[in-house]
Amino acid sequence: MERRTELSDFLRTRRAAIGPAEAGLDATHERRRVPGLRREELALLAGVSVDYYVRLEQGRGGVHPSDSVLAALARALRLDEAEHAHLRRLARAPLAQPPRRSRRQRVRPEVQRLLDRMPDVPAFVLGRRMDILAWNELAARLHVDYGALPPRMRNMPRLVFLDEDSRRLFADWEQVARETVAYLRFEASAQPDDADLHALVGELSTASPEFGRWWARHDVREKSHGVKRYRHALVGDLELHYETLALPGDERQTLVTFTAAPGSPSETALRTLALHDAVAATGRTAHRRAAAPTTRR
């Protein structure tokens, strides 16, 4: 994930994704060999010289785009906020950073208490590389018993791509999987020297053809809010709305909650799930609290 290569690939894939008509160019009488904008067309739209843009996209040295140039490129490519932030990160990152292992990432006890005080709302905390750092009982019943998993499998990308039960759980698995790749790509630009993230991407690229194909698209997305649909083995179909909240004071930790629309069948199913297997919950809580501190970031 070297900076020049990442920046070059991102610009190239975004340029290929927008056609001349979308950019307001008249190309009705032209025969085009490749989809998307040509380099000279993008340079024109962004107000930079063709030579400058070519050197930028090809990753040549000596090109240091200003904020105004990056903003102009973002407008021309119709990037959203997450894509624009990703572009800035790639353009500003040092050229070479040796990979390093991250220190352990821990969840404050107060955050775990908050999770436990939400018995009717599935919730967990994501950390670096989308590691699952902490969770409440209803999240374990909805998704998987995280406390029973080996520590390395408490990771959302690994579960989505390598765990067959998770693949069956998500009614829209491909959408969830593609979004997961886009989230991970956004994380990667924020921590380009993370050796564990490099290893995770390599592992998933080898183990999952889908991951490798979607990773090569360079799509990026920031975790925010949306809808997930489930086919749960115990309570059937659910449609849940998720929200993500950055935890202040905790670098790269995000609280994710899931709720159902009031009066909906999904709300009834979620209540049923909350009441299910209450006796076993005590054992899972003890297992979880003993296991959670070993999570790395």
The class of domain 3-92 in CATH terms is mainly alpha
Residues of CATH 3.30.450.180 domain(s) within the chain? 109-294
Tell me, what's the pLDDT at 27? 65
Q: Average pLDDT of the chain?
A: 88
Helix (H, G, I), strand (E, B), or coil: what is residue 221?
coil
Q: Is 97 left (phi over 0), alpha (psi -120 to 50) or beta?
A: beta
What is the architecture of the domain spanning 109-294? Answer: 2-Layer Sandwich (3.30)
Q: Can you list the residues of the chain whose pLDDT is less than 70?
A: 1, 26-30, 94-99, 277-297
- Cα distance between residue 111 and residue 169, in whole Å: 27
Tell me, what's the pLDDT at 34? 73
Which has the closest alpha carbon to 146: 167, 127, 124? 124
Tell me, what's the pLDDT at 97? 63
- Cα distance between residue 282 and residue 287, in whole Å: 9
Tell me, what's the pLDDT at 159? 98
The predicted-structure confidence for 84-122, as pLDDT tens digits, reads as follows 999 999 988 765 566 677 777 889 999 999 999 999 999
Residues of CATH 1.10.260.40 domain(s) within the chain? 3-92
